[in-house]
Amino acid sequence: MKILLISLLLLSLEANNDTTLKTKQEKCRNDIIGYWLSPKDKHSGRVNIIEFIKKGGKYFAYNVIFMDMLPSQKDENNQKYSLRDREILGSVYIYDLQKNTKNSYTNGRYYDFNNGKIFQLKARLECNKLKLLISVDNIGMLGISKVYEYLNPNDIEFYIKGKKPHIDFSGVEQ
């Protein structure tokens, strides 16, 4: 009888572990499309919500809203004078990112509004976190990493209130 009870208990625990694992896997992202919370910017001190979209087989991201709710700034450090009057909100700054493997993205570009420079970009999706490797070289040896957190679209409605900025691809080199 004791053996039977122990066996039933072990089977129950194994079934519970399988359910927990499936629930965790279902909650993990398998693609980067959607809304993400950026880390705090070291220069401006701002945190923003960005949206990744897919266009022509490549991934792009733009700023949707700043969490401090202050007005957008202009892209005044852009090396192209004609783009210095564009708003940062809505401007695509991550572009040409391509899915390499299940959770890996490569060959992207990252435009830095703080200095007007374009960097190489790789990304790795780790469940609900997206780790960006922004570097001056293709290998990623000379750069920094930033970790973005996935946001449920229902959770950001409070901030965007149905008013997303127009997506501006003008700074993206094609």
* Coil, strand or helix at 149: strand
What pLDDT is attached to residue 7?
42
How many helices (H) and strands (E) in the chain?
A: 2, 8
Check if the beta carbon of residue 21 is closer than 8 Å to that of residue 93.
no
Instruction: CATH number for 34-160: choose from 1.20.58.740, 3.40.50.11440, 2.40.128.520, 3.10.20.30.
Output: 2.40.128.520
pTM: 0.81
- Evaluate if residue 158 carries a pLDDT over 90: no
What pLDDT is attached to residue 159?
83
